[in-house]
A and B are shown apart, each in its own frame.
Chain A
Amino acid sequence: MPYDALDFYDVDSLLTEEERMVRDMVRDFVDNEVLPKIEQACRDGVFPDEWRVELGNMGVLGAPLKGYGCPGLSYTAYGVICRELERGDSGLRSFASVQGSLAMYPIWDFGSEEQKNYYLPKMASGEWIGCFGLTEPDYGSNPGDMITRAEDMGDHYLLNGAKMWITNGTIAQVAVVWAKLDGVIRGFIVEDGDEGFTAPEMKGKHSLKASVTSELVFQDCKIPKDRILPGVKGLRGPFSCLNNARYGISWGAIGAAQACFDSAKEYSLSRIQFDHPIASYQLVQNKLSWMLREITKAQLLAYHLSQKKDAGTWIPEHISLAKMNNVDIALEIARAARDIHGANGILDEYPVMRHMANLESVKTYEGTHDIHNLILGRHITGIQAFTRTLE
């Protein structure tokens, strides 16, 4: 059966013709080049290099960035791209999120002219892969207390420390690494091959198997002076990248949910138990109509947020709400879809268990579900509840 993207309220009719053409292009790529290979890629634990090439050929990397060889699309189009990629696999969308929002964006916004001219065209074309190093083994939700440090040695910087859980790390040519210089968080561009820099891959993931996750290790890593990002100091740097990536995830999660819904609908109509399709039973219909309800709400949320993003009238809390809600419902939908598929739901013949396992990561990265609750809680009450002093 060809994929039937659930769009109950016809929200896509609000897209421009250009945005719909971009959607169809990416959907075609996912149908023809991702879905036939995804299960093998997960088994092998690899991100197929031909996907990098084709993402570059399609010209979707760094979608909303303008100039320097970047696509210059709307944030809405960027959202649509994330949704279509994640309908294929969250690992594929992660690759694009990290490349565009976490590696290209900080260079585009905070880099020098020379840095932008040098890195961005190669990253937009997919020739170079980027990664983003913020999280450390001991500092996840609380990156402000990071240990990684840079020291000014006069004619170069010396980087020491370690990052963990870094998407694309091992396959990247360019790493945007956040480290403290004189106690202040700064962004540094580290290149593959820099002395004292290694990026071993982390193995054994049950989630995002088709995405490469790595450690970044810096042992007296020498960085030329012109590789610091001049335009930003403090947590605002990494957080502004995360805002864009989280925005994309709020769309991406819908794609995963749509894929699970589509599979659950088809399966329940064809699976006969007690002489009738299981879709004819009220309990199953209740699950399907709940999925339809949540996907429709998530679509409206993402679309409205995209309009605010394009108009520049958004605040980070708007993005927190959408990331948190849409990933949450996508994960619950994946679980319900897995249930509807019965034993078949655990097989890789169906996409549901893969999406379900992927979404566990998506719920955690880019601010865990509860960290977004705390962000909203602070917005509502004016009281931050991230930390407290124990009496």
Chain B
Amino acid sequence: MTIAVLLKQVPDTTAKITVSGGRVDEGAVSKWSMSPYDEYALEYALQLKEGGGGDLVAITCGPARASKILTDAAAVGADSLVHIVSDDSGMDSSNVQNLLASAIRKTGAEVVLCGKQAADTNSGSTGPGVASILGFTCVGMVSEVSMEGDGFVAMRTSPSGNEKVSVSKPCLFAFDKAATEMRRPNVRGIMMAKKKAVESLTPADLGVTMEGSRVSLESHSAPAEKPPGQKFEGAASVPTVVSKLRDEANVI
């Protein structure tokens, strides 16, 4: 069984984001990391591989710098690495989905894991989009997945209750925050990762003609500044504070 996991490199959640000329200034991003939901997908992909054997292919689509997350994936146990090299930040989601779907088809994977959304764009369309192109069953907001017989059992956890579903192949799981964090690599894994080749593919290699984006990005802008905090002193202000907490902050 071939398992594919889709990974995206995003600015680290701790990195400072600046906007200049109506665009996020990527050059100013101090640290790039694997998108957090993708880390959960990778961890469960590793568990599936360990449970049922098979090959784990890690796939990313992005500029040259993005291959770093493939090496990180190899360090924890991904078997092969596919990098769809694209510098075109103007690509819309459907372009990305087409590229990823073609790469998955090429690997022959029948089960795909990914994050429910990427930490930079938060579109949330990749998983469902790729599944629909491939005709795979899509299960979203997954927090756990395991093999059962020929198919899979997935948990969907939410504050209002849990749902357990079973699915047969071919299928795609889009991960929410999951029960187990991505494992830490070890020195042996890191040394092996260095030796694993990254297969670089262009859209042409995948036979995908990039149609003009249907969604075009007009501009980015920084969030509005938060209003300054309010300060109250003395016992006399208690009623005001209580009413603000109740009526404005909705916390009591």
Which residues of A are interface residues toward B (Cβ below 8 A)? 2, 17-18, 21-22, 25, 28-29, 57-60, 63, 71-73
Contacts and interface: CB of A to CB of B under 8 A. Distances in A.
B123 interface: no
B244 interface: no
Contacts of A63: 187
A17 B72 CA distance: 10
B14 A25 contact: no
Contacts, number: 36
A367 to B, nearest CB: 29
Contacts of A21: 71-72, 75, 185, 190, 193
Contact of A25 (B68, B71, B185, B194): B185
A2 B190 contact: no
Contact of B184 (A18, A28, A73): A28
Nearest to A81: B187
B186 interface: yes
A63 B194 CA distance: 17
B188 interface: yes
Give the one of B68, B72, B188, B191 with max A CB within 10 A: B191
Interface in B168-212: 184-188, 190-191, 193-194
Contact of A59 (B71, B186, B193, B194): B186
Contacts of A22: 187, 190
B194 A58 contact: no
Interface of B: 14, 68, 71-72, 75, 184-188, 190-191, 193-194
A29 B187 contact: no
The winner among B14, B68, B190, B191 for most chain A CB atoms within 10 A is: B190
Most buried by B among A58, A60, A72: A58
Contacts of A18: 190-191, 194
A105 to B, nearest CB: 17
Given A25-B186, A57-B186, 6 more contacts: A17-B68, A21-B75, A21-B185, A22-B190, A63-B187, A72-B191
A29 B71 CA distance: 19
Contacts of B184: 25, 28-29, 58
A59 B184 CA distance: 11
Contacts of B14: 2
B194 A17 contact: yes
Contacts of A29: 184
A103 B154 CA distance: 48
Contacts of B188: 59, 71
A22 B75 CA distance: 10
Contacts of B72: 21
B187 A71 contact: yes
A294 to B, nearest CB: 23
B103 to A, nearest CB: 24
B113 to A, nearest CB: 22
Contacts of A28: 184
Contacts of B75: 21
Nearest to A2: B14
